[in-house]
Amino acid sequence: MSGGQVLRRADALRDAGTPFVLATVVRAERPTSARPGDRALVLPDGHVEGFVGGSCAESTVRVEGLRLLRDRSSTLLRITPGSTGAADEREGLITVDNPCLSGGTLEIFLEAMVPPTVVHVYGDAPVARALVRIGQAMDYDVRDDGGPPAETAAAVVVASHGRDEAEVLTTALRAGVPYVALVASRTRGAAVLGALNVGAADRARVSTPAGLDLGATTPAEIALSIYAEMVGARERVATPSPGGLPGEGSGPIGPAVDPVCGMTVAGAAADPSTIVDGVTWWFCGSGCRQAFVDDPARFVLAASTPGTPAGRS
């Protein structure tokens, strides 16, 4: 995939509301296969599209890219072929010693691209209007047009004071919207939930009275408490539900250690792996995997930190 194709793919992901990390090589010392300007994308399930170096460099980019998606941040990543002495701890720079590199140093800028949070607000009460104002100030994509929740919706808040509450809540719950809230008193909220044609687990997902108990009294304060609760309950974008992106395999199950070279790897479907005696071992590249497969006992006995056991998240 060329650099231009990577950017077109990035545009498509952005339009679809899919978070990703854009990795761009900004400096490369010989001998390295990457060149300044090479680009790749790190997807939430750990897949890397494009080229920023060989398999070992790609593995490091995957690990750091997934971390940045969780933190919603960006950094300059320096990958070196071995120990460089004192770690460079400058702000905005991460240095990783990669024993697999054949030589040279790569510097890659990793930029997390997380789409605006989509919040649907239903109703025209003062709290609903405050939710729109405060959400827009937070750079959220706040929608109050009364339409159905978007597939990428992070939250649905109903503040209509009795108008179409059950219908909107049911639609949001069945659509799997992560945060669903109803602005109502405790007594009325319980009555509305009891009338919903959904299972008990879905009823339990509705926050009512909506928001954290901050002692809020004004519409703006209530709206603030709702956003605070929503942010606190927000799932990290780099830990998707099983299945990851549609059609792209399962998501990462957590960092693991390559038993051959000692590198930290993401434990994603895109990482090479093998199973020995029911334990899944993850590798930075095909070379380490082959070395392990040729003589598993040598590395199993020597490894101080085993790979992630199969099925463990």
Q: At what angle do helices 186-194 and 165-174 cross, to 10 degrees?
A: 60
Give per-residue pLDDT as tens, 44-62. 988 999 999 888 888 899 9
Quick check: 253 and 294 in contact, CB under 8 A?
no
State the amino acid at position 97 in one-letter form.
D
Quote the pLDDT of residue 295.
85
157-214: pLDDT as tens digits: 999 888 889 999 999 999 999 999 999 999 999 999 999 999 999 999 999 999 999 9
Each residue of 83-119: pLDDT tens digit? 554 455 677 788 888 776 566 789 999 999 988 889 9
pLDDT of residue 88: 58
Distance CA 272, CA 269 (A): 8
Question: What is the pLDDT, as a whole number, of residue 289?
Answer: 87
**Which stretches of the chain are DSSP H helices?**
3-15, 55-71, 126-137, 165-174, 186-194, 200-205, 219-233, 286-294, 296-302
Q: Are 142 and 136 in contact (CB under 8 A)?
A: yes
Residue written as tokens 């993401």? 266
Identify the residue with better confidence: 310 or 71.
71
Q: Note the CATH architecture for domain 118-233.
A: 3-Layer(aba) Sandwich (3.40)
Query: Per mean pLDDT, which range of 40-54, 65-79, 238-252 is the poorest?
Result: 238-252
Q: At what angle do helices 126-137 and 219-233 cross, to 10 degrees?
A: 60
In contact, 251 and 236? CB cutoff 8 Å: no
Residues of each domain in the chain carrying CATH 3.40.50.720:
118-233
pLDDT at 238 over 60: no
